[in-house]
Structure 1
Amino acid sequence: MEATDETELCFPTLPNSSCRRTVNPHSVSMTAYVTLSCISLLTVALNLLVIISISHFKKLHTPTNILLLSLAVSDFLVGFIMLFQILGINGCWYLGDLTCVIYLYFDYIVTSASVGTMVLISVDRYIAVCDPLHYSSKVTENRVKLIVLQCWLGSALCHTLLLKENLKHPGSFKSCAGECVLGMTPVAGIMNLILTFIGPVAVIILLYMRVFVVAVSQARAMRSHVAVVTLQSSGTVLVKKSELKAARSLGVVVLVFLLCLCPFYCVTISGQDTAYNLSSIAFVLNLLYFNSCLNPLIYAFFYPWFRRCVKLIVTLQILRPRSGEANVMEWD
């Protein structure tokens, strides 16, 4: 009986302080390991294709694609973060308190940067659809690069302040040996919830509701064969069909992101404390991570330029001189 009890401990040599590990049938454990490993590798590979495509081909250096590049970078990093999630799949953490804190701190930053990028994508589509005349002057490539950089730095600074006690004293919030957990004060937990979930989600929904209303009115105007540049009744400039198409495609990206993000925060809100535990919210956490694998698949479905870029990358044609100047947008 004692041997059985020991096998259920993360650290059998510390029977009084060790956490109990999750004991699953071997087939279940292997299925989970293989599935998560495949998703992790697929996430890294697909987002690397997005990063190479937008970085290499000059025709793709547009403000909107810079935002997609930022999202792809965060999704690419999520693929590596998933590897640590796999290591703790049985509820035990063997890499030490410092590694745990660094891993979860990095996870918070990447997730927050993803949410911030989604807000920026919504703002970009809002300006493109609702204020098309001033889009080119308001949304420039250099300005978007600066804002994206601020988004990442802001995310890092915000969570450095919110998690400072964890960074100063790694492992101070764990209840037993083998647990990987971060803790926040009630005030820090509320601030994190507002800054990384409630506030951004509210902004995204409001902006896309406005984009949807304008897009519907523009679509009706186009179907009625309005041949003038402006709608004389309202003075509103007709939005380019390509901008409406981009709004629809990016709307799918945003919608899928929200569907994967909301369950995680709903579970967090329903918890008794603000502790972030690897084993207690494994499903919703993996759902959030899985979103990073879905985004490139959405691009492949909606964007012909991405499919063309993948073909050029896989066949190594990007190694040819001046390949970066290829017009990969010609099929759009």
Structure 2
Amino acid sequence: MTSNMSSSGSDATTAAHIQAFLLSIISIGGSLGNGIVLVAMSRTAKLRNCTNIFIGSLAVSDMINCLTLPWNIVAVLSVDHWPLPSAICLMSSLVLITCTIASVYSLASVAYVRYIVVTKPSGKIDKFVNSKITMILITSTWLMSLATALSPIVFEIVELGFDSKYHICLWDTNSPGHIVFSCIFAMVLIPVPLFSMTYYYLAIFLFIRKEAEKINTQRSTLHLTTPPCQLQNGVSISNVRKRNIDVTKNLFIVVLAFVICSIPHSLAIIIPGTAAIIPYTAIIFNCSGCINPLIYARKFPEYRRVISKMFGFKVNTVHDISCS
């Protein structure tokens, strides 16, 4: 009996150390990566357009979240109770909830901007996407995210802070309202923006396919040989459209990474009998904040150029595809 208890305690300690190690990697990598993205944006005017402002909001939320993870490392390594003042764990919980919701709604805003830029005529884009609308969306995102994080305290739905079951600073799963708030979080707060992203990117895909079919029909019936219309700066309209599509495809990869990271944790929260894997699905959920900067550096030429210059690397000239 004593041997079994000792073995169980040893396994729990090993699991806690593994979780703490993984969270440490995410915290360091995400903080540095998103910090570099924000510095690159501040140093380059080309990266300060409507789309990239939302990417900046996403980077801010991811970086703050990663900077807060060390408190959850303390929670993971705690044996029986939270060893520090409870206010620290409470603030960590508020930050985690706020930044998680801000991240997913920032991604939804990016999807909206790409939908407008790709599907609307250039003369009408400013009507739907401009600096005023951008600031309204970003302000609304952060205010709504903060209000959601504060709602358990204001309405006494669930107690935020240290969860002795999962050893994390979030909300107490032993309190009566945790099932309600967990379901709201996993089935409403996260899925709603994900569904909106699905709608926008599906609409973009259908629009692109329809445009391609139209062009192919025109070429086959009229045998067009005239080169595409040229803009004043010498870049063809078709090239601008292609670059916008390239940007949209790359941003869809960011969304896809978030979906892949979030689905396991969302399912684990609402499916009974999955308590043992929840600490690990939570780690996977946090991975998106660490992955996004890698996607920007790899898939976005302008980010890659600016970041390479920041570290003194020689880069080839690339075309800016970070349009509007």
Cα distance 1:127–1:331, how it changes in 2: closer, same or farther (>3 A)? Answer: closer
Pairwise CA distance, 1:163: 3.9
Aligned to 1:298: 295
Larger deviation, residues 156-165 vs 110-119? 156-165
Find the aligned partners of 1:132 and 1:270 in 2 and give their Cα distance. Answer: 45
Aligned to 1:286: 283
Amino acid aligned to 1:155: S
Alignment check: 8 A CA contact 1:63 1:141 kept? yes
Aligned to 1:149: 139
Amino acid aligned to 2:262: L
Pairwise CA distance, 1:56: 2.1
The 5-angstrom pairing of residues 183-202 of structure 1 reads 184=177, 188-202=181-195
Alignment check: 8 A CA contact 1:22 1:90 kept? no
How many residue pairs align between the two structures? Answer: 297
CA-to-aligned-CA distance 1:27-78 (integer Å, 9 cap, x gap): x765554443233211111111110111221122110010110111111112
Pairwise CA distance, 1:132: 3.2
Alignment check: 8 A CA contact 1:101 1:166 kept? no
The 5-angstrom pairing of residues 124-203 of structure 1 reads 124-133=113-122, 134-164=124-154, 180=169, 181-182=171-172, 184=177, 188-203=181-196
Cα distance 1:131–1:4, how it changes in 2: closer, same or farther (>3 A)? Answer: same
Find the aligned partners of 1:179 and 1:117 in 2 and give their Cα distance. Answer: 25
Alignment check: 8 A CA contact 2:265 2:285 kept? yes
Aligned to 2:207: 214
Find the aligned partners of 1:168 and 1:263 in 2 and give their Cα distance. Answer: 23
Find the aligned partners of 1:272 and 1:120 in 2 and give their Cα distance. Answer: 35
Q: CA RMSD, aligned part only?
A: 3.7
Aligned to 2:234: none
- TM-score between the two structures when normalised by the length of structure 2: 0.77
Alignment check: 8 A CA contact 2:151 2:157 kept? no
Pairwise CA distance, 1:152: 0.5
Pairwise CA distance, 1:153: 1.0
Aligned to 2:87: 98
Aligned to 1:322: none
Find the aligned partners of 1:130 and 1:101 in 2 and give their Cα distance. Answer: 44
- TM-score between the two structures when normalised by the length of structure 1: 0.75
Aligned to 2:232: none
Alignment check: 8 A CA contact 2:157 2:178 kept? no
Alignment check: 8 A CA contact 2:118 2:245 kept? yes
Find the aligned partners of 2:202 and 2:152 in 1 and give their Cα distance. Answer: 32
Aligned to 1:85: 72
CA-to-aligned-CA distance 1:216-242 (integer Å, 9 cap, x gap): 23344556756677xxxxxxx978111
Amino acid aligned to 1:159: A
Find the aligned partners of 1:179 and 1:54 in 2 and give their Cα distance. Answer: 33
Alignment check: 8 A CA contact 1:105 1:163 kept? no
Alignment check: 8 A CA contact 1:47 1:76 kept? yes
Pairwise CA distance, 1:88: 2.6
Alignment check: 8 A CA contact 1:126 1:210 kept? yes
Pairwise CA distance, 1:269: 1.4
CA-to-aligned-CA distance 1:103-133 (integer Å, 9 cap, x gap): 1121011000011111101111111122233
Alignment check: 8 A CA contact 2:50 2:130 kept? yes
Structure with a larger share of its residues in helix:
2
Unaligned runs of 5+ in 1: 9-19, 230-236, 317-327
Cα distance 1:281–1:214, how it changes in 2: closer, same or farther (>3 A)? Answer: same
Give SS of 2:76's match.
coil
